[in-house]
Amino acid sequence: MKVITLVSTLSLFAASSLVNAFSLADVKKGANTGSIVPGRYIVEFDSNAHLSSANLKRSASPHEYIYQQLKARDTPYTVHQEYSSDLFVGASISLASDADLASLISITGVINLRPVHLLTLPAKFLEAANTQWTCKNPPGSSTTIPSGSTATAAPQVTTSVKCTGKGKKQACTTKTVTISATATSTTKAYPTTGFSPNSQIQVDQVQATGNNGAGVKVGVIDSGVDYKRAPLGGCFGPGCKIAGGYDFVGDNFDGSNDPVPDDDPYDDCYGHGTIVAGIIGANDNEYNVTGVAPEATQYAYRIFSCGGATTDDIAFQAMQRAYNDDMDIISASIGETSGWTESMLSVLAGRIVASGTVVVISAGNQGQVGAFYSYSPAAGKDVISTGSSDNSIYPAHNATVSTGYGPVTYFNFQAFTTGTLPIYAYTTDPSVTADGCTVPDGTPDLSPYVVVVRRGGCSLAQKAQMAYYQGATAILVVNTPGTPPTYQNFPLINFAMVNSDDGNYLLSQANTGNTTTSNTTLSFSFNPIAFPNYWSGNTTSFFSEIGPTNDLFISTKVLAPGSNIIGVYPSALYNWTLVQGTSFSAPFAAGSAALYMAAKGVNNVSPKDVLAALETTAEPLAVSVSDTTLESVAAQGAGRLNIAEAINSNVAISPSEILLNDTAYFASVQYLTLKNPGWSWVTYKLKNVPAGTALAYQTGVNQSNDEPVPQVPNAASVKFSQKSVTLWPFGTTVVLMQFTAPTGLDPQTFPIYSGYIQISGGPSVTQVPYLGVAAKMKDMPVLDPTPYYLGLNTPTILDANQNVQVGTTTYTFQGSDHPTVLYRLVGGTPLLLIDLIDASATLPFSPNYNSRKRSTASSPEAEIALMKRSLDARRGKSTGGFTPGSGKSASLLSLWCQLTNWKGQGCPSSPGGGNTFSKVPILGNLYEADFIPRSTDNADGEGGDYNQFELSTAAFANGTTIPNGTYKFLMRALHITGDRASEADYEAWVSAPFTVSQ
């Protein structure tokens, strides 16, 4: 069998694609195996299982015991990674067939497993797609500025490298210097450009005190680092900025071949990790983008190859290695769509935090698809999951116009080649809608000019390419009025945008056709300007992930700048780039955590202290520049970091976030503990500051809302036991709070209400975010029965030709002749099952997946029992749903029972056992998946809009052959907070009949 789960993996560099209309032709059988690596699992072992084996020495390991048991069962297996620490004992194991999975699960010492997923980084950033452009200049033209112009040499970045050793393992010291042909000043090594976003999170204030993060070790799990770059120290090893690390993959790993690890995390072919390392700790440089904690020591753990691929079992290994190497902070810009706190990476991240190491993870970049779409491992308990706030500036340069107009600001973080050029335009007619998409006949050699064209009609790359083919060395694109600029990087031609007013002026002064009547020129030099971001500055980025998790934990904890970020890049990839995404927000948070720990002492604060300090002093941001309503906590968490206030706060608050749950398990009574950490008496005042209530689902339609998720003013109210408290030096008090959920809301929109408990006193204002859902999560629909997005009612069977099956169809299971179930999830589910039943089977329930089943509790005692069960489950989930060394996890036991048709040891299948689910007359299980996120409408172009299950071989999940006969598929999806043993808690669908004939 084959399962196709079309969910996005890693998209931590922001996407900006538009929704594409869906067509059944888009469904390609076997075209995409999704993020799951077939047959490969991260498996947790009981750390004491081997002690009971009579055939092993007491010095043996749990691994040896498990492998011995697999061999005794004649189960072939391949071990990819082994894990041995006080946090997790286990291995990444591949099995040859589905039948072997049941064999593995039956081993007593196996207590949990999850399938391995492929993780991918985004395409490289502002690199040139035009490096493959064919040289096609007109005869006699040149791609360089002709000698007859007034151009002078550009500021050149020259690099000298002194190395010892050989090959990739050599240790090098790099010196980078910016030289201008006319530069004579020696007053300062680097100019102050204002390109750094550090001041937006108060890093400049902390660095001004002399705190640069010295004494803190930060482990960066990413694509490696070009440590030869001068801003990153120029060397590798003890005493260097990049003091150590490990390469887990090598250059050519693609997720399916064997990695080639070594002890050198050097990367000159991808660059993602180099950017991250620079944000955390770059030395001062020509762009003045100094790192947040430049004196912190970094260790680089390379898990992504040159192609940007890895698997989460390798990421798992890197997280353990960083923990074992005694990092103070682990920063990872990795993730995959999850919606739950249950993935293995989230579990491990939470355990690392609980064991004393700060973990910072990027929140994810699929905010465009709406709420309840959190990422893993960002959802791990007490992980500092970091979303993105829009930079308050656009990096740009100023050019001088010979007429005295201006200056003209052009949007490129790099300056154009230094020189003076006349202006040329193909046309000055604004009605030409495809200006620059082709080169008009009679156009001269453009090498002496800067070309000015209007935006629109074709891609920016095409405009640049056409100008380059005509010999141009520089092009300015006039932007559409009222829209923010777009950055592009084409190393074969200087490229930038200008605003419409400046662009129209330049067009009015341009030479056109074969005329050279205009003498107006533009002069370029290194003349940087931090242009204000009038469009979205200081708001939550549109791509930043929106929670909460399906089990109602806040998944984005804080924000940090994540757009228009200038990053250090490998020398082989042009030294510098400009990026956006939560990949680059996370290192701002990691560097801020380093500053906090350096200020307080790394041994004096716990990870929860760091998280609490960052959350309670963050600044909640407004919805937009024109709407001062506070953005939902689901999107921004506590708000944007304020590290100086975190270090200098005059109150310590616990807890640092308040989880109110849903209406079924409403936690209305909460408390805050306030502590005065100073030597003076302080009076604190408390008040409720509501944020907008986000409507996660559309009114009257069981479909989620895309970003911007609509917000309404209906807010929670709060009663305080004390609205004002006065605390003596180092005194502590507790304030009780009674929350009342907002009213007047449609529960079918699953309103996410939130806000902040603000505590003011002394020089600073702090706040604690809260969040709840004004509906029962158990009522959230799961299976999508509508043609809303796919254009046909689903779930449904697709035949061998990818058409909807009509009538009872016979499948031979030869080649592609097999059935496929196409389905879509409008809500997340903790358990999805596809079973096989006889075509004539009588079910003890009506498979009506259109209904929204509600709680069956009918008494206060039943409600209390349900609440206790939910609370216990949530406590379990906070540590991964199981305790290391204990028996099998609930999800693993469920899988075992599915594979054995509820006949395996430990399965509650007796008629009197209360397991109504086990009474369904299934012939066998075909597929089981745990903790699945909802589907999207592909608003961000990242997929995840539908799922497929291919019954590619006539066999059950345990490997048993399906006899010839006529059958139906039975799909069941468990409601959030539902009971796995209660059939009433599932949505169910029964397919049309089909015949197996082999």
**Residues catalogued as catalytic:** 222, 272, 583
Cα dihedral 372, 631, 742, 339, rounded to 10, equals 10
Amino acid in the structure at residue 38 = P
- Non-local CB neighbours of 791 within 8 Å, separated by 6+ positions: 22, 23, 24
Residue from 924, 911, 912, 918 nearest 960 by CA: 924
Q: What is the largest CA-CA distance in the chain?
A: 97
Tokens of 24: 């059944």
3-class SS at 671? strand
Tokens of 451: 């070309």
Tokens of 363: 């929140």
Burial of 893 (0-12, 13-18, 19+ CB in 10 A): buried
Spatial separation of the C-alpha atoms in residues 557 and 538, rounded to whole Å: 17
Spatial separation of the C-alpha atoms in residues 903 and 593, rounded to whole Å: 51
Cα dihedral 243, 249, 252, 256, rounded to 10, equals -160
Residue from 569, 581, 638, 625 nearest 414 by CA: 569
For the chain, the residue count is 998
Residue from 387, 356, 520, 368 nearest 452 by CA: 520
Q: Are strands 947-950 and 994-996 parallel, antiparallel or unpaired?
A: unpaired
What is the 8-class DSSP label of residue 802?
A: S
Tokens of 103: 């064999």
3-class SS at 868? helix
- Non-local CB neighbours of 880 within 8 Å, separated by 6+ positions: 112, 342, 346, 347, 350, 351
Q: Are 298 and 277 in contact (CB under 8 A)?
A: yes
Q: What is the DSSP annotation of 451-513?
A: EEEES-SS-HHHHHHHHHHTT-SEEEEEPPTTS-------TTSEEEEE-HHHHHHHHHT-EET
Tokens of 500: 């419409």
Amino acid in the structure at residue 15 = A
Angle at 819 between CA 814 and CA 823, to 5 degrees: 150
